[in-house]
Amino acid sequence: MTLRFCSLSSGSSGNCYLAGSDRTLVLVDAGISARQITERLKALGLKPEDLSGILITHEHSDHIKGIDTLSKKYHLPLYMNSATEEQLRTLCKYHSEMDIRLFENSGTFRLRDLDVRAFSVSHDAADTVGFALQKDSAKICTATDTGCVTEEIMEELTEADLMILEANHDEEILKMGRYPWFLKQRILSDFGHLSNEAAGLALAEAVAQDPRPRQVLLAHLSKENNFPEMAWQTVVNVLESRRIYLNDDLRIDLLKRDEMSGVYVL
Ligand SMILES: [Zn+2]
Ligand SMILES: [Zn+2]
């Protein structure tokens, strides 16, 4: 048992993942309330004091909602890049009291027994990142809040045994839906969110490049512009159109909005 992962919440109204090793547990984002995070950790037999820190992808509220209270109450180290830190100065009430540890994108830093690498994604915040967590040869990669899959993202995804990949929306539902035009343009742009189809294409490419056993978790689903069954089926359809089929070495689950996932162990 090297690495483990559990989604405490995933979707456009709040993102918070628990990941790590036997010795080191971190949150990737804290986009639900500190109370909810505490309750969900408790359901896993854990408490906030068991965490070694929180990795922050970017400053949008669905990723940072709980950090003010969590960091004030438990003094957890917060890991982020400098552009995100600058945004938090105005967004967070207790910013001056936070234990902030800055990292550089595309570099690897050590967090106890974990190697953590933040890589740039393509999104309309100051400097959004995805994270790769590695211990021994096991690797977890989170790639959400990105309008497109760059070469660097592709590289990280391809090497991951557990891949948390955004399947945010169905393009047709989004185009026909009630969102204002500017918001539709934002989501559809290269700096918005990944569609179900784009997620399928990225996964197909990763599998074609490296047929290692992998578990995929479709994440950050939109409440308005997606349905869980549709996200899953669209990704499977894209794969099957390229003769890639689900089996014991390629499993796809979906992270439900406002519901904890099971615990995945690598
Ligand atoms: Zn965002
Ligand atoms: Zn988001």
pLDDT digits (tens, 9 = 90+) for 118-135: 999 999 999 999 999 999
CA of 230 to the centre of ligand 2 (A): 20
**123: CA distance to ligand 1 center in Å?**
7
CATH number among 3.40.50.920, 3.40.462.40, 3.60.15.10, 2.160.10.10, domain 4-265: 3.60.15.10
d(CA 178, ligand 2 centre) in Å:
20
Q: Tell me which ligand sits closest to the C-alpha of residue 9.
A: 2
The two three-digit tokens of residue 40, written as one number: 């969900």
pTM of the complete model: 0.96
Q: How far is the CA of 65 from the centre of ligand 2 (A)?
A: 11
Length of the chain as a residue count: 266
Which pLDDT tens digit goes with each residue over 221-252?
999 999 999 999 999 999 999 999 999 999 99
Burial bucket for residue 154 (CB in 10 Å: 0-12, 13-18, 19+): middle
Q: How far is CA 192 from the centre of its chain?
A: 14
Percent of the chain at pLDDT > 70 equals 100
Ligand 1 centroid from CA 165, angstroms: 14
CB atoms within 5 A of ion ligand 1 belong to 60, 145
